[in-house]
Structures are given as structure tokens and as C-alpha cells.
Amino acid sequence: MNRARIEKFYYLMKLGREFELKAKEHYMLGDIAGFLHLDIGQEAVSVGTMQAFDKGDVFTHYREHVLAIARGMEPKKIMAELFGKKTGISKGKGGSMHLFEPRLNFYGGDAIVAGHLPMAVGCAYARKLQNEKAGVFAIFGDGASNAGAFFESINIASAWKLPLMFFAENNYYAIGTHISWVSPFVDLKEKARNYMPTFTCDGMDVCDVYNTVIKAKEIIENGLGPVFIEAKTYRYEGHSMSDAGKYRSEEEMEIFKRKDPIENLKKKAIKLGLVDEEYFNALDAKVEQVINEAVEFAANSPEPEIEEAFEDVFCKECENAIS
Amino acid sequence: MLYREALNKAIDECMENDESVVILGEDVGRYGGSYRVTEGLISKYGEKRVIDTPIAELSIVGNAIGMAIAGLRPIAEIMTVNFSLLAMDQIINHASKLRYMSGGKMTIPLVVRMPGGVSRQLAAQHSESYETLYASIPGLIVLTASNATYAYNALKWAIKSNDPVIFLEHELLYPMEMDFKEVKDFNPFRAEIVKEGKDLTILTYLKMRYDVIEAEKELKKAGIDAEIIDLNSLRPLDIDTIAKSIKKTKKCVIVEEDHKTGGMGAEVVSQIMENCFYDLDAPVLRIAGEDVPIPYNRKLELSTIPTPDKIVSKILDWKAKNGI
């Protein structure tokens, strides 16, 4: 652990958390609608993976605000998207669940559980063909690990030795269904271990997530086929904003909150004498400024024109051929 | 040229000219293609570009979308339309929506080819025509290839296009010998006037084109000069060509192989009502597949779809009934 890395990890996790707390606030105020899935509690996974897997392509599920921020997407463009504004990353047509930025090789924002995994497999196939060593990263939850698309994907990726990192973000609950009620394995790596090398890491510890991805990435970069990483983590908030949380206990929540990724990184760094409290206070101030600017940008941006609803169905060449 | 050879020629030329073109599906490589459309391609382009997949349709299309995202131009072959239902999520929830929900940032140059329709006694799970399922989805282009010329030119267009195309073929057409010509600046969205006529417009597509051509010979004997139009593109529909023909003939018949309820003709009639109502002398006649799954027995099978005889008799009955 060094100072530069601590700064990056802490800053991005804190940015992610404050972004989402602000999003929650504006959801309550009615500025944000639809489904809003918060990543609060799981920031170590989003930040640790993206810091380690810093090249290549990224396919993700719909709980992706912090992952997008950690990949380099501007918070203000994400906030504007949540507000449904013209300046949003997807022009206000995708919303919280559909953040795309091909320039960052960041391909969604997929809201069909496990639906992005076959696409990640295909992308990995193409990268192998194109001799791109960095490969593809696909993150999914415990819920996705029960879907047919998941099993098809580990099978094909393994059969064709594709450069693909399957990252299972196991927060135990598929909406309100505990993994043990619907799967023979609580440890998701059990599902993949006959297909590819598997790794586990502590999803509440950003350094462990980062180090594990770095280690596993070598296998991909050396052309040895796919890898599977499982991180156990926990979301403090409901599945989405409409979740009453009846399926889990306060005690369980407390166990994980004691392992909070942001607070623990801070404590660990101070204890090791690498930095002091003041150092973090300065980072917090920077985060606050970025978030305030993001909200201001989103609030002051214009709504899309009605015509926008009819754009981007097809590309211009197809539109011309049709008309 | 055989119909399947025209398809093969289109794929071959695209693969030759552009190394980002790949084809994937069940048995497209070493086996040579279930209907021999991909015959010979693997020896020319190798197994990396002619990809034998597992029997996992969701992955065939999902993988193809991922390849498209990465800059390839994939052609996904689904063995038969019925199996494409397993890939519906990828086709509809992903391929058709990625450009839109990313605000135009994502581009999915994808072709999904699949044959459908009643072949020879393949029974209910291998004989369907599900074109309306796809033709009702914004973000998809749905083309039907009834002949070698359209198959070749439209498939080449589809492979080069930057949006997802559902490319429908018919199992009975593959071994048919047909006229073939290469067309410059081909537009796949135009319907084809197969035969001009002044008394009656018959709209059809895919294999029914040939049943209609057969039926027309009998209609001619009965003194009816029918105009035959092959729709070619189901989404978008070339309503201008349809409307122009109806303006001339004042009468319209639709012949389709899919099930009548919610079938393609239902949408065509709806657009005719919106565009041509005052030009019509009689209600539009739909001659379609029956609303039952397709049975195995040949006699029963034929009883569920239009045939030349049925087309003739239904048109004559309809004319008599409406006094036209």
C-alpha cells in the first residue's frame, strides 16, 4: 500500500458513496425516477476492480454508478443521466441502469440479469482474434450465477480459452432472495471451478480486491483462458429504492457495516502511519465539491427535446435507406 | 444459381473483402452448414472466422453482439426460426436496444440469419414462421429473402449495415435453382413487383411467392389480371409500393404462411387501412396459415398453410361474395 494508491482508492470510493447518497436524496425529492440501484457498501469491489483492470473492455449489470465513476466516467454526466437530462451520458434515454461510454470501453449498464455475459464472451472472442491481450471484464451478482446465460458463458469461455474475467459480486441477495435458498452453493466459485482457475477476495477490502484482480489478470494476459473471481460483499441499501428490506436482519447488516470498505481503508492507512486524518479531510472536501458540481450540472441542464425520443433507433445510413 | 449458393456467395464475398466479417452458429464450419449455406467457407477462412458453436442459441446471438461491440461484423446463423426463441432476449432486449438506450453511442452491426416455415413434415417445433415477433420490434430490420437475387444483394447489404438485421430464409428454397443478378446500389427496403396486373393486388413474401405465382396462372385463366408484390422487407414495410398498387387495382389479397391471428398480414392490413381505405372496393382478403401448431402428417400439414389451389378458390369465393 502506498500513498498514491490509498488516495486513488479512498477518493473514488468516497466519491462513489457520496454520489449515491446524493442520488438517493434527489430520488426522494423527485428529481430522479425509475429504478435506482445503489452500490453503497460495495464500493471496494467497484473501485478495486476498475483500478486493477484498467485496460480492456467492461461489461456490467445495472448497479453500475460507482463502477462507471471508477472507470473514468464523469460524475456530472452520470448525475445528469439520472436526472433524465439531455447532457446525460446516454442523452437521458438510458437512466440509472444504462450508462455507456465506448471511449472508456464501458458497455453498459445491462438490466437483464446475466444478459450481458454472452456479450462479454463474444467481445472476448473478438479481442482474442484481434490479438488484444487486455481481455474483457464482466461483473455480475449472485443472482446472475443462477441463470442459464451464466452457465452457457462459462462453458464457452472455457472451451475457447477466451481472455475473460468473470467477476462475481456476491452480496448474498438477489433482490430479496438469499443465495442459499436457490443455489446449492453459497460460494459461487464452486460453479466455475471445473471450467477455469478461481480466486476469492474480500469484497469489503479494496486492497484485497485490487491485488486479486492484478494476480488473476496475468492469466488472461498470458492467453491462458478465462478466470473467475468471487468477492463477498454487502449492500447497505435495498435492492432498489422500493425495497422494504424485510428479508434480512439488522444484526447481519451490522456485521458488514463494521467492515465498511471506506472507513476501514482510512483506519488502516492512519494506523500504518502513511497519512493522517487531515489528509482524508482534504480528500473529502474535494469529493464534496465534485458532487455539488455534478448536482448543479444535472439540475441546470435542459430536458431533451421531444424529437430525441425518435433519434438513435437506427444509424443515419439505415435511416436514409429506409426513408 | 441455387438459392443457397446465392447466400453463400454473399457471405463469401463479404468475408473476402472484409476480415472483420465472421460467421457463427451450430454446424456452420466443419459440418458445412445444416442447409449447406456455409459450405466451403471454413476451408477458405479458417475456424477462427467460421465458428462452430455449441447448441446454445442465446449465446450464439449474445456472443455475436459482443463481437459486434468489439468491431467485428458477425453473422449469426440460427438453425431454424423455432430455435431463435431461445435467443429472443439477446435479439430483443439487447441487439435492438443498445444503440437507443446508449443515446446513439453503441453500434451493433449484426445479422441473424434463420430459415423458417413449413418444410416437409418436420412437425410443430421445426416449422414455424415467427416473423411478426421480430417485425414488431423497434430497432430491428426484418428482411425476408424469397429469391436468389434478393438473397444475395440484401444479405450483402445487411452484412455491411451498422444495425441489427433479422434475415429470414425458407427451408424449401435452399435447393431451388433461380435466376440471379447482382444489383448496384441495392436497397433492401423496396418491395418487388413480381408481376404487374390491373385487377387485383396480391401481397406475399418468402416461399408463398411461388404458391402465388402458381395460383396466378389459374387466375389468369379465369380472366383476372393480378399484380403480385413480394414485400421483401417486413420492417420497415414498403407501404408506398403497396399503396400505389392498390390505388390502381382497388383490391388487395395477402398471402402469408404464418398463423393468421397476429400474423404479418394483420399489420399489413392495418397499414392499408390507414393509407388506402378510400381506394378499396372490397375488404382485404387474408389467406394465411391456420391457427394451429403445424402437424406432422403431410396431408394435415398442407391443410394448415396456403397452397396454390386454396389461394385460387379463396380469391374466387371472395370476389363472388363481394361482387367485384
pLDDT in tens, B291-320: 999 999 999 999 999 999 999 999 999 999
Domain-located, residue B127 = yes
- Residues B67 and B37 reside in one and the same domain: yes
d(CA B27, CA B38): 9
pLDDT band at A241 (very low <50, low <70, confident <90, very high): confident
Q: Which of B54, B72, B141 sits opposite A318 (nearest CB)?
A: B141
Q: Does A148 touch chain B (CB under 8 A)?
A: yes
| C-alpha cell read off for A57 | 473492455
Strands (E), A151-307: 164-170, 173-174, 177-178, 198-202, 227-232
Residue B47: predicted pLDDT: 98
Instruction: Provide, as residue numbers in chain A, all residues whose Cβ is less than 8 Å from the Cβ of B71.
Output: 126, 130
Please report, rounded to a whole number, the percentage of residues in chain A having pLDDT higher than 90: 95
Q: Which of A115, A122, A148 sits opposite B63 (nearest CB)?
A: A122
- Residues B200 and B295 reside in one and the same domain: yes
Instruction: Provide, as residue numbers in chain B, all residues whose Cβ is less than 8 Å from the Cβ of A123.
Output: 66-67, 69-70
Domain-located, residue B203 = yes
- Residues B205 and B160 reside in one and the same domain: no
Is A92 in Cβ contact with B62 (below 8 Å)? Answer: no
- Residues B30 and B148 reside in one and the same domain: yes
Residue A155: predicted pLDDT: 98
* Domain interval for residue A216: 3-322
Q: Which of B58, B104, B107 sits opposite A149 (nearest CB)?
A: B58
Instruction: Report the number of distinct structural domains present in chain B.
Output: 2
pLDDT band at A244 (very low <50, low <70, confident <90, very high): confident
Q: Residue holding cell 451478482?
A: A141
Instruction: Give residues with Cβ within 8 angstroms of A58, minimum separation 6.
Output: A50, A67, A71, A104, A105, A106, A107, A136, A137, A138, A139
Q: Does A304 touch chain B (CB under 8 A)?
A: no
Mean pLDDT of B269-284: 98
Domain-located, residue B215 = yes
H/E stretch holding B272? helix B264-276
Radius of gyration, CA atoms only, chain B: 20
Mean pLDDT of chain A: 96
d(CA A73, CA A68): 5
Residue B239: predicted pLDDT: 98
- Residues B132 and B204 reside in one and the same domain: no
Instruction: Provide, as residue numbers in chain A, all residues whose Cβ is less than 8 Å from the Cβ of B62.
Output: 115, 117-119, 121-122, 149
Instruction: Provide, as residue numbers in chain B, all residues whose Cβ is less than 8 Å from the Cβ of A107.
Output: 69, 106
- Residues B286 and B220 reside in one and the same domain: yes
Q: Give the CATH number, domain containing residue A310.
A: 3.40.50.970
Min Cα–Cα distance to chain B from A207, Å: 30
Instruction: Label residues A103-126 b or e (16+ Cβ within 10 Å = b).
Output: eebbbbbbbbbbbbbbbbbbbbbb
Residue at which a domain ends, from B102, B137, B170: B170
Total CB pairs under 8 A between chain A and B: 147
- Residues B45 and B129 reside in one and the same domain: yes
Between positions 234 and 293 of A, the ones with CB within 8 A of B are none
H/E stretch holding B218? helix B208-221
Mean pLDDT of A21-45: 97
Q: Which of B48, B59, B104 sits opposite A152 (nearest CB)?
A: B59
Q: Amino acid identity, residue A94?
A: G
How far, in Å, are A139, A149, B83 from residue A56 at the CA level?
A: 13, 22, 33
Residue A1: pLDDT over 80: no
In this structure, what DSSP letter does residue A33 have?
-
Is A115 in Cβ contact with B63 (below 8 Å)? Answer: no
Which of B88, B89, B105, B235 should we substitute to test contact with A (largest number of A Cβ atoms within 10 Å)?
B105
Domain-located, residue B181 = no
Is A120 in Cβ contact with B66 (below 8 Å)? Answer: yes
Instruction: Label residues B10-47 b or e (16+ Cβ within 10 Å = b).
Output: bbbbbbeeeebbbbbbbbbbeebbbbbbbbebbeebee
Residue A93: pLDDT over 80: yes
Q: Give the CATH number, domain containing residue B304.
A: 3.40.50.920
Residue A209: predicted pLDDT: 98
* Residues forming a β-bridge with A183: none
Q: Does A107 touch chain B (CB under 8 A)?
A: yes
Mean pLDDT of chain B: 97
Residue A108: predicted pLDDT: 87
Instruction: Report the number of distinct structural domains present in chain A.
Output: 1
Is A159 in Cβ contact with B105 (below 8 Å)? Answer: no
Decide: A248 and A173 in contact? Cβ < 8 Å: yes
Mean pLDDT of B58-76: 98
- Residues B155 and B249 reside in one and the same domain: no
Q: Which residue has the higher pLDDT, A274 or A17?
A: A17
pLDDT digits (tens, 9 = 90+) for B123-178: 999 999 999 999 999 999 999 999 999 999 999 999 999 999 999 999 999 999 99
Instruction: Provide, as residue numbers in chain B, all residues whose Cβ is less than 8 Å from the Cβ of A89.
Output: 103
pLDDT band at A198 (very low <50, low <70, confident <90, very high): very high
- Helix B264-276 crosses helix B239-249 at what angle (to 10 degrees)? 60
Radius of gyration, CA atoms only, chain A: 20
Which of A85, A152, A317 should we substitute to test contact with B (largest number of B Cβ atoms within 10 Å)?
A152
For B52, the 3-state DSSP assignment is strand
Q: Which of B138, B73, B136, B93 is nearest to A108 (CA)?
A: B93
Mark whether B170 is an active-site residue. Answer: no
Instruction: Give residues with Cβ within 8 angstroms of A29, minimum separation 6.
Output: none
pLDDT digits (tens, 9 = 90+) for B28-45: 999 999 999 999 999 999
Q: Give the CATH number, domain containing residue B127.
A: 3.40.50.970
- Residues B27 and B157 reside in one and the same domain: yes
Domain-located, residue B184 = no
Q: Which of B48, B62, B89 sits opposite A122 (nearest CB)?
A: B62
Instruction: Provide, as residue numbers in chain B, all residues whose Cβ is less than 8 Å from the Cβ of A94.
Output: 101-103
pLDDT digits (tens, 9 = 90+) for B170-200: 999 999 999 999 999 999 999 999 999 999 9
Domain-located, residue B146 = yes
d(CA A149, CA B86): 11
- State the complex-level ipTM: 0.96
Q: Which of A94, A126, A127 sits opposite B101 (nearest CB)?
A: A94
Mean pLDDT of A108-129: 97
d(CA B320, CA B324): 7
In this structure, what DSSP letter does residue B91 have?
I
- Residues B231 and B295 reside in one and the same domain: yes
Residue A280: predicted pLDDT: 95
Q: Does A152 touch chain B (CB under 8 A)?
A: yes
- Residues B8 and B118 reside in one and the same domain: yes
* Domain interval for residue B49: 3-170
Domain-located, residue B187 = no
- Residues B302 and B207 reside in one and the same domain: yes
Mark whether B126 is an active-site residue. Answer: yes
In this structure, what DSSP letter does residue A304 have?
P
How far, in Å, are A18, A22, A38, A78 from residue A25 at the CA level?
A: 10, 5, 12, 15
Please report, rounded to a whole number, the percentage of residues in chain B having pLDDT higher than 70: 100
Residue A215: pLDDT over 80: yes
Annotated catalytic residue: which of B94, B126, B170, B259?
A: B126
